[in-house]
A and B are shown apart, each in its own frame.
Chain A
């Protein structure tokens, strides 16, 4: 039985410049702040940053892996609070995600709060989803 407070397993995702290039092509999002240090600096960013949508998608893996059926993620929203700066090296940056059930609704769906950090800094805030929980949850 899924209850308020049920925790989803914490996950870490590594993001490199190569991942940004892949995501840009797959998503059709070629904003140069995600691949050009020169353009990123010209608009006042500390460096090339990850697509917010890539970070959102990685965090969403918590939900789809838990539910099993990706179609069980009914609502999903985030605020992109801080840019995820991706250095031009092999290590990239590590995004840490944890999540817990925050609401159990009468219709059987559950609300999930997702925490997404780089180090100690929250990069996504107000990250919430409504999910049809796994039957063995």
Chain B
């Protein structure tokens, strides 16, 4: 079922996410990155950070919370979704202890070859509203049950 084109422009309620040292360490382990700035507070402080910081793509975790709300709204199951493009622009690194609020906007819906391309923008901010990261994504929503493969 194609995505409702009138959904373009929808802005979803901010989703909270509290960044913990343990989650940063777990994520760094999962991507095999031994950098001490993710694990050792003193190492992070020596680089000028207030606490351990997160890898550049860690922002995808709070961003996914925003995607979840959007997918739920549009009735899309993730098995149909292919990640086509992702970009992060960091105003400053994410560090442990920060309370994030991610506001998701469905910027665009385009139909390409029977599939839908969703342009999504997530603004990740601190609890006080300071911008931390802008994440833009393109998701390809496949029409399941076709015989084009």
Name A's B-contacting residues (CB within 8 A).
13, 19, 22-23, 25-33, 39, 42-44, 51-54, 56-58, 60-61, 63-65, 68-71, 73-80, 83, 126
Among B85, B136, B146, which residue has the most Cβ atoms of chain A within 10 A? B85
Pick 22 A–B contacts, CB within 8 A, sort by A: A23-B30, A26-B23, A26-B26, A29-B60, A32-B79, A33-B79, A39-B79, A43-B80, A44-B146, A53-B60, A57-B31, A57-B57, A64-B55, A70-B35, A73-B56, A75-B89, A76-B57, A77-B85, A78-B86, A78-B87, A80-B84, A80-B86
Judge if B73 is at the interface, Cβ distance under 8 Å: no
Return A34 CB to nearest CB of chain B, in Å: 10
Interface residues of B in 6-53 (CB under 8 A from A): 23, 26-27, 29-33, 35, 37-38, 47-49, 53
B146 (CB) vs chain A CBs: closest residue: A44
The answer to whether A76 and B88 touch across the interface, beta carbons within 8 angstroms, is yes
**Assembled-state Cα–Cα distance A80/B84 (Å):** 5
Judge if B149 is at the interface, Cβ distance under 8 Å: yes
The answer to whether A58 and B32 touch across the interface, beta carbons within 8 angstroms, is yes
The answer to whether A65 and B93 touch across the interface, beta carbons within 8 angstroms, is no
- Given contact pairs A76-B57, A76-B87, A79-B84, A54 touches B37 in the complex (Cβ within 8 A): no
The answer to whether B87 and A31 touch across the interface, beta carbons within 8 angstroms, is no
Q: Which of A22, A32, A39, A57 contacts B55 (CB 8 A)?
A: A57
The answer to whether A13 and B32 touch across the interface, beta carbons within 8 angstroms, is yes
Judge if B110 is at the interface, Cβ distance under 8 Å: no
Point out the residues of chain A lying under 8 angstroms from B61, CB to CB.
27-28
The answer to whether B56 and A27 touch across the interface, beta carbons within 8 angstroms, is no
Point out the residues of chain A lying under 8 angstroms from B38, CB to CB.
70
Q: Which of A32, A51, A71, A74 contacts B53 (CB 8 A)?
A: A71
The answer to whether A71 and B35 touch across the interface, beta carbons within 8 angstroms, is no
The answer to whether B85 and A79 touch across the interface, beta carbons within 8 angstroms, is yes
Q: Which of A43, A51, A70, A75 contacts B88 (CB 8 A)?
A: A75
The 8 closest A-B pairs by CB, nearest first: A77-B87, A44-B149, A26-B30, A71-B93, A57-B31, A31-B78, A52-B83, A73-B56
The answer to whether B56 and A60 touch across the interface, beta carbons within 8 angstroms, is yes
Point out the residues of chain A lying under 8 angstroms from B32, CB to CB.
13, 19, 58, 61
Among A56, A71, A73, which residue has the most Cβ atoms of chain B within 10 A? A71
**Assembled-state Cα–Cα distance A77/B47 (Å):** 24
**Assembled-state Cα–Cα distance A57/B142 (Å):** 24
A33-B79, A61-B31, A61-B33 known; 11 other A-B pairs, CB under 8 Å? A28-B61, A32-B78, A43-B80, A52-B86, A60-B56, A64-B35, A64-B56, A70-B54, A76-B56, A77-B86, A79-B84
**Assembled-state Cα–Cα distance A52/B47 (Å):** 29
